[in-house]
Amino acid sequence: MKTESIRQRKIADEIKKKVSQIIDRKLKDPRKGFITITNVKISGDMRIASIYYSSLGDEEQRKDSKKALESAQNFIRSELAPYLKMRFVPELRFFYDDTLDYSQHIEDLIRQIHSDEDKNKNER
């Protein structure tokens, strides 16, 4: 696996910051809900930006957020263009980041284990 260059990291950080602002301030789609951009990875040729996001709510709200992002892809890209010092703006691809869900699941399992241990101690 090839490591990320300094330029890639800087561009990814800039995309993360600006896309967050665009979604928050300019995207008027009511389906978007509360979206947080968690990470951006940019391909080696700088042509594709993979944008990872999380959203509050249930599975239905997540689907609505994804639809809102996908339908606003070109809008977000055009709003992003003036801020990037590049010949072309990368294609934006959105992916749901389930890291928070996974960590919550692990935390719930740990809590359950501790709860079961406490019950076993009290039964003795």
Residues for the chain: how many in total?
124
Residue 124: what pLDDT? 62
- pLDDT at position 70 is 93
Q: How many Cα neighbours within 13 Å face the side chain of 63?
A: 3
Domain boundaries, the chain: 6-97
Six-digit token string for 92 = 């934006």
33-69: per-residue pLDDT in tens? 899 999 999 999 999 999 999 988 888 988 999 999 9
Confidence (pLDDT) at 2: 66
Q: How many CA atoms lie within 13 A of 18 on its CB side?
A: 20
Indicate the pTM of the whole model. 0.79
For helices 6-25 and 73-80, what crossing angle results, to 10°? 120
Q: Which residues in the chain land under pLDDT 70?
A: 1-2, 124
Q: What class, spelled out in words, does domain 6-97 have in CATH?
A: alpha beta
